[in-house]
Amino acid sequence: MTRSNAEGMKSYWDEKIDWWADSSYEEKPRGPVERWMATLRRSVHARAVIALEHLEPHIQGKVVLDVGCGNGHFAKSCAELGAKHVIGTDISPAAVEIAKKLAKANGVGDRTTFLVARAGDPLPDSDIVTGFGLIDWLEREECLRFFRNIKDRIFMFSYSEQDGTFDEIVHHFYLVERLRLFGNGVRAYHHPRKTIQNRLLKAGIKDFEVVSRKEMRFGRLVHNLPATRKRTQNG
């Protein structure tokens, strides 16, 4: 991500973080089109729920790093499930401030730290790295840097898969193509599974699992949690 693209992304999320959180996690979408699109965005909530089901046995007493933490909803949940400490990073200062307030309001402010940082920056020390929705906003080289940064750690992240379903195609045109045309340099991406697998392999990550569940729609989880790790580079 170039400096100009990073600045555009920071400005975008500084402006959009409240709106996105309301329409993804709450029942507050604005207008009929937004109400319909919010049913797709709330699949993000399903990704978080399923991810926490997988993570819960592994995060007890551990330090979790949530990259691209947004409003801090997932980081807060990890702390509530018993993580020793949760560090959240985001490119948006506005998101970081909202995350701090959310954690404090839910009684986990003393076990959370939120920092402004880019996804490709060197990562703070942690036992587990997570990133939800993050990959959808990274250009190829920054995605590879992130994967290289996590290759020696336990990780779980999500991405939007280009799978050709009706929901995916609609969301692709609504978000990806709209930003390509009118986003002033801000871009979002849906990825074929092979693209994600090839980038992981290029970064030196060979053992991982891709999780698909109906309620996540076209969302996918990728992890290398020890209990269920398996080779998936061949599909």
Reported as a single tens digit per residue, the pLDDT across 38-92 is: 666 667 788 999 999 999 999 999 999 999 999 999 999 999 999 999 999 999 9
Instruction: Work out the burial of residue 210: count CB atoms within 10 Å of its CB; fewer than 13 is exposed, 13-18 middle, 19 or more buried.
Output: middle
Contact 232, 210 (CB under 8 A): yes
Confidence band for 22, pLDDT divided at 50, 70 and 90: low
Find where tokens 């609504």 sit: 174
Mean pLDDT value of segment 121-127: 94
Contact 205, 231 (CB under 8 A): no
| Cα-Cα end-to-end distance for the chain | 28
Q: Which helix (H) or strand (E) covers residue 201, if one does?
A: helix 193-202
The whole-model pTM stands at 0.86
What local confidence, expressed as pLDDT, does residue 185 receive?
Answer: 84
pLDDT reading at 95 higher than 80: yes
The token duo for 31 is: 């207008």
- CATH code of the domain occupying 3-228: 3.40.50.150
What local confidence, expressed as pLDDT, does residue 33 receive?
Answer: 53
pLDDT reading at 224 higher than 60: yes
Contact 78, 110 (CB under 8 A): no
- Cα separation values, 232 from 116, 173, 199, 209, Å: 33, 29, 13, 6
Which of 167, 164, 188 is closest to 178 using CA atoms?
188
Mean pLDDT, all residues of the chain: 86
- The CA-CA-CA angle for residues 56, 62, 66, to 5°, reads 75
Contact 71, 98 (CB under 8 A): yes
What is the rounded distance in angstroms from the CA atom of residue 143 to the CA atom of residue 134?
Answer: 9
Q: Which helix (H) or strand (E) covers residue 25, if one does?
A: helix 3-25
Helix 73-80 / helix 43-59 crossing angle, nearest 10 deg: 30
What local confidence, expressed as pLDDT, does residue 2 receive?
Answer: 46
From 20-29, 174-183, 221-230, the region with the lowest mean pLDDT: 20-29
